Amino acid sequence: GAVVSQHPSWVICKSGTSVKIECRSLDFQATTMFWYRQFPKQSLMLMATSNEGSKATYEQGVEKDKFLINHASLTLSTLTVTSAHPEDSSFYICSAERDTYEQYFGPGTRLTVT
Amino acid sequence: AQKITQTQPGMFVQEKEAVTLDCTYDTSDPSYGLFWYKQPSSGEMIFLIYQGSYDQQNATEGRYSLNFQKARKSANLVISASQLGDSAMYFCAMRASRGFGNEKLTFGTGTRLTIIP
């Protein structure tokens, strides 16, 4: 099966610092990866679509300068939360697209900003 | 624009009974796909079942089946013989199928299913 990993699985950081989250497709190449954010007891909200070798496409209302996305290879996309604040605390999930309709999700990263 | 509606925020079901989770959708795309995901307390999103808009038959995967009624724009998930391990959050989602990928998923608000022993 298709496996997607995320690292770290959880992270605690101080307000004002930056945090990088990695999303890797372990056994397939993914030209497209998606980054979602999920607040407690809420649904997944798409933040951005990441294509290998090009700039990410951000959803309306998502600050591109705050949430930096880099899709450097066909198996790795990174999300960097810059100058994190407590309101950025959330569960961040990535998914990698394998075929024209299948997306495989990573296990998620829980970010807590103190 | 696409929209997914899940009207059941929570459900309690006796173990071994069948359960139906409701999902209605709205889209202007002629071709689309419908998905159901399970999210246990660990947070991972587990793919359960997929239905293409042009599929003639309802999708089935083990104990999961999708009751697809295109005219009503509904895609209900049916879980037969529920188990304690089925307790989780369930999300219905859809995406357009324009043939070249890169299409985002739109999620519903989810239904929290609790199986009672």
Cα A42 to its chain centre, rounded Å, is 17
Is the peptide bond preceding residue B117 cis, with omega within 30 degrees of 0?
Answer: no
Residue pointed to by tokens 């947070």:
B43
Label residue A20 by pLDDT band (50, 70, 90).
Answer: very high
Q: Residues of A with CB below 8 A from B49's CB?
A: none
Neighbour-count burial of A59, counting CB atoms closer than 10 A to its CB (0-12 exposed, 13-18 middle, 19+ buried):
middle
Contact A110 B47 (CB under 8 A): no
Mean pLDDT of A66-86: 94
- Write out the two tokens for B115: 């199986």
pLDDT digits (tens, 9 = 90+) for A37-68: 999 889 999 999 998 888 899 999 999 999 99
Measured distance CA(B2)–CA(A99) in Å, rounded: 21
DSSP B86: G
Mean pLDDT of B70-85: 97
Between β-strands A4-7 and A19-25, what pairing exists: parallel, antiparallel or unpaired?
antiparallel
Q: Residues of B with CB below 8 A from A8's CB?
A: none
Contact A105 B37 (CB under 8 A): yes
Asked if B77 contacts B92 with a C-beta cutoff of 8 angstroms, the reply is yes
Contact A43 B110 (CB under 8 A): yes
Asked if A54 contacts A32 with a C-beta cutoff of 8 angstroms, the reply is no
Predicted confidence (pLDDT) at residue B112 exceeds the cutoff of 70: yes
Label residue A114 by pLDDT band (50, 70, 90).
Answer: very high
List CB contacts of A85: < 8 A, sequence separation 6 or more: A15, A16, A113
- Write out the two tokens for B113: 């299913």
> Which of A10, A90, A100 is the best residue to mutate to test the B interface, defined by the most B CB atoms within 10 Å of its own CB?
A100
Mean pLDDT of A85-107: 88
**Which stretch of DSSP H or E encloses residue B70?**
none
Cα-based distances in Å from B100 to A51, A71, A93, A99, B112: 13, 19, 23, 9, 33
pLDDT digits (tens, 9 = 90+) for B51-77: 999 998 999 999 999 999 999 999 999
Task: Say what the pLDDT of residue B57 is.
Answer: 94
The interface residues of chain B toward chain A in range 25-54, judged by CB-CB distance below 8 A, are 33, 37, 42-45, 47, 50, 52
Apex A22 CA angle, A20 and A24, nearest 5: 170
- Taking the Cβ of residue A108 and every Cβ of chain B, the question of whether any pair is shorter than 8 Å is answered with yes
Task: Say what the pLDDT of residue B98 is.
Answer: 65
Mean pLDDT of A85-108: 89
Predicted confidence (pLDDT) at residue A100 exceeds the cutoff of 60: no
Predicted confidence (pLDDT) at residue B38 exceeds the cutoff of 60: yes
Average predicted confidence (pLDDT) for chain B: 93
Between β-strands B60-61 and B64-69, what pairing exists: parallel, antiparallel or unpaired?
antiparallel
> Which of B49, B105, B111, B112 is the best residue to mutate to test the A interface, defined by the most A CB atoms within 10 Å of its own CB?
B105
Mean pLDDT of A77-106: 90
